[in-house]
Amino acid sequence: MRAFLATSIGVAGSAALVLPLALPASAAPATSVTTYVSTPASLPAEVAVPGSTQSLPLRTLPAERATGAALQGLTRRDVRPFSLVGVVWDDPDAELHGSVQVRTRASGTGAWSGWQSVETHNDDHAADPGTPERDSGTVRGSTAPLWVGASDGVEVRVRAEAPRAGASPAPLPRGMRIELVDPGDEPASEPAGEDTAQGPEIPEGNDTGTTSGQVPVPALTPEESAASAVNAELVPLGATEIPELTKEETEAAYADRFGEETMTAKPYIGPRPRIVTRKGWGADEQLRERNFVYTKSVQVAFVHHSATGNNYTCKQAPSVLRSIYRYHVKSSGWRDFGYNFAVDKCGNIYEGRAGGVAKAVLGAHTRGFNTNSMGIAVLGTYSQSTPPSSAVTAVARLTAWKLGLYGKDPRGKSTLTSGGGNRYKKGTKVKLNAISGHRDGFSTECPGARLYGKLGTARSAAAKYQGR
């Protein structure tokens, strides 16, 4: 545990610590049609990590006769299989003032869906201004991604806001294209069953070992080893899940972190919940940027909804995660998955951005407040739909444990300094709830009114899990 302290929270001030542990990802611009396919040169084709992205540029369509508003899109067409869609454009600072709608054709039945709306404002989920991730030159403007399920046909229309009387029509961002993401096949061991909270057993071997009485564990790539090694104090290398512990087991596991005096006074830390690792949900470690970046502490947990829609099963959650991950990195140009954790509708908890579940990993979830915080995305859209109680309970269990590691009362408050956003100017010190909604740090609808209304319940439950 002392080595853990040195690498995760021993960073002076709020400056980020960067550790190079894997290979960089590259982002290719789209011309006519660009397909990004993960095929590591070090692996034979038959075991290459699956998944791909089709990037199709949008074209100008006849303007709306009634309003004169600009309109771009694509007419119905056949495409290679995909399951998630989003629209991106060249300038990350350009806002899309308008609406995005898509129709998709189901692979199994050939039936076309009705028009589905895509959340257009996604710049509130991003790296802080002035950070290396934001200034990398690869970042693009993007909508939120929408999960549509297995599809092989698409139609899209992007309509600019109707101009006010006497005003010119609002322009749409330049370089718009639709991204069609194929998450690839499921991992050999699925993290969650159909509408259950069950998961895989943990391998008891190393990167070349085998599980007890199970099939051999495949050798890990260097990138997979790096992403797994940061959790090595919790589980063996290559583990697909981190098992839950009782409160007593959790306190014993972290005894040297708190010291004898604190342990005598009984630390307020919740039992560690079960967490599906990146290996468990099938993250392609070739995609992300090579470094892990840490900040000093975790003082606030920001709760989000992914805005990907609620039309998924818990068995599909790993595919949803792989799709969002690919969209964040290859389409939006981020360094990794934006959120530190994700929670599905059945209450399964997933490791998000690489760097270690117990560590203070810098994310790209709440623009302006990523330092000394963590982001939790509840998979789904909860503006009008009520989140399942299992998901709210999972948020409470996760925050009771993670905030407890950093001495935080889930019902308390912490002061963070804004890195710049539309609600608080850069340098503004803001007092926030230890469990906050995304909208508390940025003017946004996220995490949706229905999920935001459940945060009080999550705070109370988390405090009870901590023994307060």
Q: Could you give the maximum distance between any two Cα atoms of the chain, in Å?
A: 74
pLDDT in tens, 419-451: 887 888 899 999 999 999 999 998 889 999 999
Q: Is the pLDDT of residue 397 over 70?
A: yes
Q: What is the pLDDT of residue 3?
A: 36
Residue 173 CA to residue 162 CA, distance in Å, equals 15
What value does the mean pLDDT take over residues 273-295?
95
Query: Is residue 29 very low, low, confident or very high in pLDDT (cuts 50, 70, 90)?
Result: very low
Average pLDDT taken over every residue of the chain: 83
Q: Is the peptide bond before 447 cis (omega within 30 degrees of 0)?
A: yes
Tell me which of 322-326, 361-365, 416-420 is least confident: 416-420
Q: Please list, in sequence order, all residues whose beta carbon lies within 8 angstroms of the beta carbon of residue 348, skipping any fewer than 6 positions away.
A: 191, 192, 197, 199, 274, 276, 314, 317, 394
What value does the mean pLDDT take over residues 327-342?
96
Q: What is the pLDDT of residue 262?
A: 42
What value does the mean pLDDT take over residues 296-312?
96
Q: Is the pLDDT of residue 46 over 60?
A: no
Smallest Cα–Cα separation from 444: which of 38, 139, 144?
144
Q: What is the pLDDT of residue 17?
A: 55
First to last CA, the chain: 25
Q: 48 versus 141: which is more confidently predicted?
A: 141
What value does the mean pLDDT take over residues 383-409?
97
Q: What is the pLDDT of residue 132?
A: 86
Q: Is the pLDDT of residue 197 over 70?
A: no
Q: 39 versus 72: which is more confidently predicted?
A: 72
Q: Is the pLDDT of residue 346 over 50?
A: yes
Contact 366, 301 (CB under 8 A): no
Q: 253 versus 168: which is more confidently predicted?
A: 253
Q: 264 versus 118: which is more confidently predicted?
A: 118
Q: Is the pLDDT of residue 336 over 80?
A: yes
Q: What is the pLDDT of residue 257?
A: 63
Q: Which of left, alpha, beta for 175 (phi over 0: left; psi -120 to 50: alpha)?
A: left
CB atoms within 10 A of CB 93: 9
